[in-house]
Every structure is written in C-alpha cells, then in structure tokens.
Structure 1
Amino acid sequence: MPRFSFQQQVLTGFIITLLFIFSGALTAYNRIRELQNDSRAVDRSQEVLKFTNQVLINIVQAESSVRGLTATGDSYYLDAYNENLSKINPSVDRLRLLVEDNPAQINLVDSLKLQVSQKLYVMSRILWSINSKDYDKAKADLLSDRTIVHIQGLIEAIKFEETVDLAAKRKASEKNVTETLIVFVIGSAIIISLFLLMFQYIRASFKKRKQVEDNLLETNQQLKNISEENKSQNWLLKGSTVIDEAMRGKRDLGELCDAIIKSVCLYTNASIGAIYTLNERNNLQLMSGYAFDSDHYNIEIATEDGLVGRVATGKEQFILHNVPSGYLTIKSALGESTPRTMLIQPVLFEGELKGVMEIGFFDMPETTVIFIERVSHNIAVAINSVQARSQFQTLLENAGMFAEEAI
C-alpha cells in the first residue's frame, strides 16, 4: 500500500477540505436561494392580498358613489365614481398577473373579472337611467343587483386560497431554515468560521426581514389611521358645506328650519328629526320636522319641560340611548318605528339659546355627534340672522306707520 508523503497528505487534505468547503458552500448557496425564493413568494402572496382588498374597496366605493348620486343627484358622487372606476380594472389585471402560476387562483380571478365586468355594466346602466331622469328604474336596479355579493365571495375565496398557500410557503421556509442549520451544524471544524459567517448572515437576513415586516405593518396601520381620520374630516367638512348651502338664501324662519332639519337628517342618515325655536312667549315652538306626522307641528314646549326643555335650560348636548318605545315615532309607508338613539342639541348664538334640534338614529357613529355639534354654530348664526332681519323689518314697518300717523 503506497504511503503518501507529507506534502501529498497536506495536498490531499487540502483538496478534501476544498471539496468539503465547496460542497458546503454549494449547499448553503442553494439553501439561501430557496429562502430568497420563499421570501419572494411570501411577498407575492401579500401583494395578492393587497390587490384583492383594493379591488373590493374600489368597487364598494364606486357603488356607494352611485347610491349617493341616485339618492341626491349631486355630481360630487359622479366624480368619486369615476375616480374609483379608473382603478378597478388595473387592480384586477395586476391580480391576474400575480396568480399566473396558480391554476386554482387563475380560475377564481377570471370569475372575479367576469363579476366585476357585470358589476360595472350594472352601474353604467344605473347611471344611464339617472341621466334619463328615470330615478325609479335606477333605484330598482340598484336594489336588485346582487353582483357585489358574488364579488365578495370570490374575493374571500381568493384570499383564503392565498392565505393557505402563504402558510404552506412559510412552513416550507421554516423547514428550509432548519435544514440549513443542520447542514452547518454537522460541518467539520475546518469550515466552522464559514459556518458561523453564513449562520450570522442568515440570522441577519431574517432579522432584517422581520424588521421590514414589522415596519410595513406599523406603516400600514399608521396609513389606515390617517386615512380614517382624513375620511372623517372630509365628511365633516363636506357636511358643513352641505348644510351651509341648504341654508343659503333662506329669509323666512320656517323655510330656513325646513331646510336645516332636512339637510341634517339626510346627510347623517338620521331616521327622524325636529327643530324648535324660541317664540314670543319664550317657549320652544316646533318649527319643522323630518319623517314624522305633520300634526306634531303645533307642539310648544316650556324650557323646563322634558328632555328638550332640560337641554334648552342646560345649554348642553344630550344623548339618549335605548329610546323608550313611542318616545318619538317614525312615520313611513312601511309603518311606524322608534329610533334607538336620540341626540338633543342646543343651538346657541354667542351663548344665547336660539333653538334645539332633536334627531333620532337607528345607528349613530361618533363622528355624527361631532358633526351635529359643529354645524349647530352655523345654524345658530343663520337663525339669528333671519330673526334679526325679521325684527328689523318689523321696526321699519312700525316706523313707517308712526310716520304716516304723524303726517
């Protein structure tokens, strides 16, 4: 048996060591590539979830705009509809591109695209009816359309499929990590330094990835909070404009109160409402109402009586939850009902009581409370202006009568 020289043994050991290092490096390289592929797959799945949500959000907002246009005829809703409409098909096409390697998802996305096309056709048909002034047909089409239900079902199916796939990819990624660690652990002492280096690299990669995910989640939450806050602020600002427009040009107190209570109830989706102003006896006189019997228009309340009187005296907003049956009855073609919540808002001008609004809701968000409190100041200014104009006109008429008598 031939004996190797020292140089041959060193060379053989060096060659074996190089082969082992190369094999370990090749194995490590392949594992890292798999981890990178898993990471890209996870990112793709997250992007799929993002675009499915975007499709649903744009469709819901477009439909809401159509509903708003049908209900009010305000062109503002048409602008919002067009804005969302321009985003729907690109999002669906992007979603189709992301799932092109998944046959099951392709079928779902293709079905989603058909339903989206159907939904867009229905909305365009409703808009055509609105343009033709056929509001009854537009409302009927809007109520009968169930396409959004199918779209939501398909989107939930896509998200479920992607979530299952994402969980499997993460499990495979964790398995790859475990196998990679095993490969490094069973390595020889010769490549310990390399093993430690790669191990540190993998740890650093996962730490960075986790940090990126945490930052992304935090950023998404911040964006969501900002979006909700902006949405609320825009709703409040728009509402103030709507109420101001409704009050503009009204010179008669009754006409002004009609416009106020109608616009406030419509904008806040209130089910019933009433507005009282102080009369010459310093009592609260019901000036106008929304969604209840006109016989109630003769109501006169002393400022110490009932909840409305207490609010007038205390000059502070009051909210009554779990409204007793029959407290204030909503009249409609379908029958009578009682709101769940009543909001009673004093209308103050420079601290002086000008009136009280009593508004009922089946569901009252917190932003509605803020909105009514905010617009009550503008309403007080409008009522004060009309009353002051009326008093001034009365003075002028009296002065004219005195002048005629003097002549």
Structure 2
Amino acid sequence: MRFTIRSKLLISFLSVAFFVAAVNITAYIYNDKLNHSFDNLIDQRVAVLNKATEIQYLAVQQTNSLRGYLLTQDPEFMEELRTSNTAMTGLIGEVEDLIVRPEGKESFQELANNDASFVRSSEELLANLEKNHDKAAALAYFKTTTLPLGEQLGPLSQKFVKYQQQLLEEDRTKNASMVDFVNTLTAILTVITFLLTLLIGLLLSHRITSNLFKITSVITGFNHDSKTSSNIPHIEVRSQDEIGDIARSFNEMAITLNKYSILEQEQRWLETNVADMATRFQGVNNLESLAQLFITAITPLVDASYGVFYLKDGTGRRHQLNRLASYAYQHSAIGVDFFRNGEGLVGQAALESRTILLTNVPDNYIQITSGLGKASPASLLIMPVQFEGQVIAVMELASFGTFTPIQQSLLQQVSTHLGSVLSSLQGRMQVEQLLAESQVLTEELQTQSEELRGINEKLEEQNKNSEQKTKELEKTKTQLEEKARQLSLSSQYKSEFLANMSHELRTPLNSLLILSNILATNTEGNLNDHQVKYAHTIHQSGNDLLQLINDILDLAKVEAGKIDLVHGKVCLHEISEFAEQQFLPVAHQKGLSFKTVVDADLPQSLYTDEQRLMQIIKNLLSNAFKFTERGEVKLHIHYAQSGSRAKGSIGFSIIDTGIGIPREKQELIFQAFQQADGTTNRKYGGTGLGLSISINMAQLLGGTIHVTSVPGKGSVFTLTLPSEEASESVGGPSIVQQESAAAVAELMEPERARGPESDDAGLDDAVWIGKKVLIVDDDMRNIYATTIALESKQVEVLFAENGLSCLKVLKEHPDVDLILMDIMLPEMDGYETMRTLRQMPGFGDLPIIALTAKAMKDDKDKCLEAGASDYMSKPVKLEQLFARIHSWLSR
C-alpha cells in the first residue's frame, strides 16, 4: 500500500488540526453561549434603565405642563400635557413587559399606580375647570391633590432605576466568573494539544529522515568516485512514498545517463572519422586513386569485408555505372564490371537515388575469400553518392555482421562530402583534358573556352541567385521576427488594457457599491420602503456589472492561455452537495424540481482542478435554470463510456425540460457573446459568455462539452473529464501552468483575508470607538464612500490623495491605527509609499491594508513584499472590509 509523505503529513496535520479545532470549538461554544446570554441580559437591563430615565423626565413634564396651563390657559401646555400622559402610559407598558423578576414587578407597580392616579386627577381637574371656569378652585385642587401625586413620580422612578442598576451589577459579576472558568479550561486544553503536536512531529520526522539518509549516502559516495567511474550506482530504497519515488527516478536517470554516455562515444567516433575521411581526399588528382583510396579506407572502418565503387560515366555511354575501385574483390562469374541505370540492385539504387540494405543475403550471391576459407556475407549495403541531387557514383559493401545505425550515418555523411570532391575532381579533369586538346586543335580551344566561359557565367548566375535567395530568406526571417514582436507587444497591450479597464471600471464601482449598501442597510432608518428598494436595486445592478467585468476578463484570461490549473482529488459527492446548496433555492423560487444523481459504480473522487470544475458546472446549471420555466433540472454524474472503467471517462450531465436549442444553433452557443437567437437574449437576458468560458476551461482540463437538444422538450449538456484512475496513471498530483505573453488580471473571486474573517454582526463595536484610520486614494468618490462607512463605526477618518501627502499626514498624526492604501497613485505610487513608510521609525508594525482595482497576477505578493499587512481587490464588500479592519484593530 502506497503511503506517501503527503499522506503522512496530511494525517499528522489533520490530527493536530482535530485537537486544535476541538479546543477552539469548546472555547467558542462556551464563549458564544456566555456572550449571547450576557448580551441579551445587558440589552434588557439597558432598555429598562433608558425607559425609566424617560419616565423621570415625563413625570416632571406632566406636572409642569398642567401647572403652565392652569396659570396661562395656553393651549400648547394642554397639548404637551396630553402628549406626556400618552407617552408615560406607553413607557410604563413597555417597561412592564421587560421586567422578568417578580420583585421588580412589585416595585414598578407602585410607580404605575401613582401615574394612573395622577392622570385621573389631572383629567378630573381639567373637566371641572372647563365646566365651572373657576381657576382659583382648580389651582387649589392642583396643590392639594394632583401636585403631590406628580411629585411622587420622580422618587419612585429613581428608586426603580437604582434597583435595576443593582441587578445589572450582579449580572456582570456572574459573567466575569464564567469567563475565568472558560479561560482556565482553554489553557489546559492548549497545553495538551501542544504536547500531542510535539510527539507527532518527532515520530514523523524520524520516519522521513531515515530514508533520506540512505539516498544522500549513495549520492555522496558517487560524487567522491565520479572522477574514476562513469557508471552511476543504484539506490536501494523500498518505501512507498515520495522518497521511494526519488530513489526510483534516480535509478532511471542513472540508466539513461549510462546510455547517453554510450551514444556520446558513438557521436565522437562519427565526428572523428568524418573529419579523417575529409582530410584523406586532399591532394588526390585522379578519379581512380580517389575511388581506391575511399573504398580501401571506408570498408574496414564500417566492419565490412568486401567493397566495390562504381562511377557514373558520362563520356558517350549515358546512364552507365563502371566499376572503378574495389576492396577484397575477386573475379568470378557472379560479378559484373558495369551496370546501366535501373539494372541490378546497383542500377536500381542509382535510378531511385536511395540506399538499399539487404540483411538476408543468399549463399550463392557472393563469396568473401581469405587464405583460410570463404563464406557468404550476412548483410549487403548499396548507397548512391550524390552531388546537387544527382547520382554520380554508387558504393557496394558486404559484411559478415549487420550495418549499425551509426555506421550507416557515417557512410551517409562521408558520401555527401565525397560527392562534392568527385564533382570538383571531374570538373578539374575535364579542364585538363580540354587544355591538352587545345594544344593540338587551336580552333577547338576557342570553342571550348566559350563553353567554359558559359559554364562560369552559369555558375556566377547561380551564385547570384543563391545570394539573392539568401537575402530574401533573411528579409523574410526579419519580417517574421517583427511580426512575432508585434504580436507579443499586442498581447501585452491587451493585457494592460484589460487591467487598466478593470481599474477604471472598478474604482467608481467600489464607491457605488459601498454607498448603495449603506443606503440599502438604512441603519439610521431615515429612508422609506421605496427608497430602500431603490438602493437595493442600485446595489444589485452594481454587482451585475461586476459579474460582467469578471466574465469578460475571465474569457480573455482563457483565450490568452493564462489559466493556472491546481489539480487535486475532488469528491464527487461534494460536487453534488455544492450543486444542491447553490441551486435548490433557485428551483424553489421558480417552482422547478431539482435533483442530483451520482451513480453507485463511480469512484469516490476525481483528479482535476476543483475550482474550474465547479465553475463549469455552475455555468451549465445556471443556463439550465434560466431557460427552464416548468418541469425539472437534474445533475447526473456517471461513466461517460460503457467499456473498461479504468480507461473510461466521467460525465456530468445537466438535463433540463426547457426551451431547447435547434440543431443548427448548437455550435453557435459556445461562441463568445452568442446565444441561440436574438429573442433568447431579449427574453432571458445574459451576455453569452458562460458557455464560451466553460468549453475553454473543459479543454484545459482535458475534457469536452457535448450538447443534445430538442426544441420545446429540453437539453442535455454533458461535461466529460478523464477518470481518476486514468489521470493517476500519467503521474501523481501536480500543478499545471500554461504561460503566455499575456498577463491577464486575476479577478475571479475576491481575495481572502490573511487574518480571521467574521460577520459584521459578530464584531465588537468597542474596538472601533476612538480609532484613527488614514485613507490614501486619489479618487474622492472612494474616499467619500469609505469615510461615511467608517464614521458610522465612530472612527476618526483622515485622508491623503497621494503617497507624499500620506507621509505628511503621518508625521502630523503619528497615532494613526490603520492605513487603507490604494496602489495606483500619482507622483508616488502605493508600493513606493509603503516601502518608504516601513523605513520610518515607529511605523514598522502599523497595519496597512492594500486596496487596488488593478489586480494583476502576483499583485498580492508584490503588495506584501512592499510592506502591506493585508490585501483586498476593489470593489470591496463593506462587510468584508469591516471584518478585515476589525481583525487588525483587535490585535
């Protein structure tokens, strides 16, 4: 059983993670329960105290309003009295609902009864005054009956407030004791987890280092002996993990290098003998000597025992090959002295301009004789000698063995050089013959001279043509290089354009999403329902625009080949669960049936890129739900072929009962910005990018997407990928990267925080109060939107529009708690600003969150290297921004 280092580490880390998770979950459960109960209690106590305070105020206002009306008869006092009475009655009812303890209800009932008595007395007083118009009697009744009741409301409410404050202090004491208990328990569990982690690490390191020592000892020993030995030793390690893989790979490399050493020796032998044969031809003045010298040298060099050299004769007997020289040749009835073109194997080799190799030579074909006996050869090689594409000679060799590939390569290279020497020598001999004849025939000398001049002119013309063609080839090469440079530059411009467009679109979109989210939340409650709905619509439209930007950049990224595939094991049931979580709410909303089916005979997992696979399935399911108005949508995961399971493929079929696609449109829908027809786009919406992105990603994963559809009945889109077994037969886990000249922005998903993230609802509001945050951005819209969001948390906000201004603000306000740093800034960009800031005393540990809308590849690493503490790409979600800032402010 293969137990890899990755598996060992994974099991160890999972064990450690289990203990750590157990500790954290235990602490979290206790703290959550404690905080939840304490928060509810505090909220109830604070609400009671606040309302009791309002009761104190209203008690005074009731008395003063009644007194004012009796003295001045002003209707405004009457209106204030009625308002105060109504508010007091409502507050008393609300407080009574909040009180839980019986003793609290008893103390509060006295206050409520007193207020009821005051209201009845004041109403009776006002009724008598309106009936009798006796102001003096009314004032007397007010002083003796109504006023004492009103004056008692204040002390009673004060007594109730003190009692509630006492209850609040008791609850705080209980909560503090519970916190101490949880902290003690967490410390004990942490110590236990540390000891277990140390023990697991020691055991794992011992198992790994023992095998590594075996490998290093073999390699070290070979390094010491490498000067005296060219044979690389083997490593004996039998562990079934990556160390075993290294040992096996080293052994395979040793075999390959040993073979390469043999090939290198053969190559040196070939180069040496080719050069030696070339030097042998120098100084030879006639064809017979050259042919004899060549056949005498080459025959034993290639381990042959018999050789004949035939030269093409062009002096009146065209297409005839005459024997010119031989090695170990014997006159017999079998051999002949010449061949015509196409006659025998020698003539056939010259006619077809090809080498003929025979490995099963008949016994009566030829006999190789020596002083001790004679025997038939085992192989025969007939090779033409050419010059400028024309056969001028043929050599025939016979051997008791077989002609090896390196020997045949030697013969081929030597024959090429020999053809040039033969042609040159033939020309020189022709010239000498002409000169000799010119001494006898003077008239023929002029004719021959003209012919020679014509030949020279042809040669010069050929040389000129050759030079012209060379120049044309150089020009064509230069043009191709220029085209390649322009193509690379165009790809670079396209990448920069997409990145700049991303920045220009995302920068205003960032402020739009933040402000619309603040309005839609309606924290202050000053917007009506229609205005909140408008804000939600603006926020949703901004998110739709962001998705469109992401789709366009994603498509460009795929077309440029700039996709990083991270392969790993993906559980098929997790794919099914992902689909149900994502689309069951959609199915319920549209009144459709949605189910997922995973065949039982499938493997548990698939080896592929999980993120890209999920994106393809999400796109296909989104299309199915968009174009299906009734019926059902189904995801079926199955074997795509019925043959061998080990070599089959796994299919992901998305089946719907939607509108369907005509056959002539089924290829069109996979093109970018294309749908089945214009009415589809008008009725159902969409950009037509999803299927184009999906089919490109499927091809990168080694798969395909097929569609079958019947208009009016539905469609089936099937994504087919290689199965896990087929993938693992090629190799283990790896990261596949496709590079190109284009560097497209990585804008698929928002960056995740390096620190812990949580919901805004779970953040401690006390962390924000009094903190000072500096926003560095050249876009006032972003500054305005972010400032409004942070000021809602009672944070003091400073801002700077460039790097130089940022440094100036920090000198004036060294107590800044956190910086939100934009990257693309005028004068001094964000990178240079952060590097300069980190060198300033006192700012080495200041939290800096880099925010940028131009999120190019490796920008996150560049920001962190420049000094950023964290990184987020625009447009940011307000909840994520709050969580990220809260995480850093809490440290």
TM-score by length of 1: 0.51
Task: Tell me which residue corresponds to 1:353.
Answer: 391
Structure 2 unmatched runs, 5+: 1-183, 446-891
Count of residue pairs the alignment pairs up: 256
2:357 counterpart residue number: 319
1:368 and 1:290 mapped to 2: Cα distance?
Answer: 18
Q: Name the structure 2 match of 1:257.
A: 291
Quote the offset at 1:306 in angstroms: 1.2
Q: % of aligned pairs identical?
A: 24
User: Any idea what the Cα deviations from partners look like across 1:311-357, whole Å, max 9, x if unmatched?
Assistant: 12222211112111132322334422222221111112223321101
Q: Does 1:40 align with 2:213?
A: yes
Structure with the larger RCO, 1 or 2 (CA within 8 Å, 6+ apart): 1
Within 5 Å, which residues of 2 pair with 1:128-277? Answer: 166=236, 170=238, 206-207=241-242, 209-210=243-244, 212-213=246-247, 216=250, 220=254, 223=257, 227=261, 230-277=264-311
Q: Does 1:343 align with 2:381?
A: yes
Whether contact under 8 Å (1:261, 1:290) holds in the other structure is yes
Matched-pair contact (CA < 8 Å) for 1:285–1:298: no
SS of the equivalent of 2:441 reads helix
Amino acid at match of 1:243: M
Q: CA RMSD in A?
A: 4.3
1:242/1:263 contact within 8 Å kept: no
Measured at CA, do residues 382 and 294 of structure 1 come closer, stay the same or move farther in structure 2, by a change above 3 Å? farther
Which of 318, 321, 324 is the aligned partner of 1:284? 321
Cα drift, residue 276 of structure 1: 0.7
**Further displaced range: 353-362 or 281-290:** 281-290
Task: Give distance in 2, aligned partners of 1:238 and 1:347.
Answer: 21
- C-alpha displacement at 1:43, in angstroms? 4.2
Over 3 Å counting, the alpha-carbon distance change for 1:33 and 1:271 in structure 2 is farther
Deviation at 1:256, TM superposition (A): 0.4
Give, in whole Å, the separation in 1 of the partners of 2:246 and 2:363: 55
Change beyond 3 A, Cα 1:50–1:238: same
The one-letter code of the counterpart of 2:325 is S
Tell me, in whole angstroms, the C-alpha distance in 2 between the residues paired with 1:231 and 1:240. 14
Show the 5 A alignment for 1:14-25.
21=195
CA deviation digits over 1:66-96, x for unaligned, max 9? xxxxxxxxxxxxxxxxxxxxx43xx49xxxx
> What does residue 486 of structure 2 align with?
none
Measured in 1, the distance between the counterparts of 2:256 and 2:341 equals 47
Residues 286 and 297 in structure 1, CA contact (< 8 A), matched pair in contact too: no
SS in 2 for 1:344: strand
8 Å contact from structure 2 (residues 309, 325) kept in 1: yes
CA contact (8 A) 1:319 1:342 kept: yes
- Residue type of the alignment partner of 2:206: R
**Could you tell me how far apart the structure 2 residues matched to 1:318 and 1:365 are?**
14
Amino acid at match of 1:256: L
2:537 counterpart of 1:364: no
Q: Separation in 2 of the partners of 1:271 and 1:51?
A: 45
The alpha carbon displacement at 1:307 in A equals 0.6
Using the TM superposition, give the Cα deviation of residue 210 of structure 1 relative to its aligned residue in structure 2, in angstroms. 4.7
Task: Quote how far apart the aligned CAs of 1:364 are.
Answer: 1.5
Q: Secondary structure at the match of 1:312?
A: helix
TM-score (norm 2): 0.25
CA distance in 2, matches of 1:297, 1:252: 25
Larger radius of gyration: 2
- Displacement after TM superposition at 1:284 (Å): 1.8
1:230-251 per-position Cα deviation (integer Å, ceiling 9, x unaligned): 5454343323212211211111
SS in 2 for 1:40: helix
More helix by share: 1
SS of 2:438's equivalent? helix
CA–CA separation in structure 1 for the residues paired with 2:283 and 2:340: 30
Q: What is the distance in 1 between the residues matched to 2:198 and 2:389?
A: 81
d(CA) in 2 for partners of 1:51, 1:336: 52
Q: How much has 1:309 moved relative to structure 2? A: 1.3
Comparing 244-253 with 286-295, which one deviates more in the overlay?
286-295
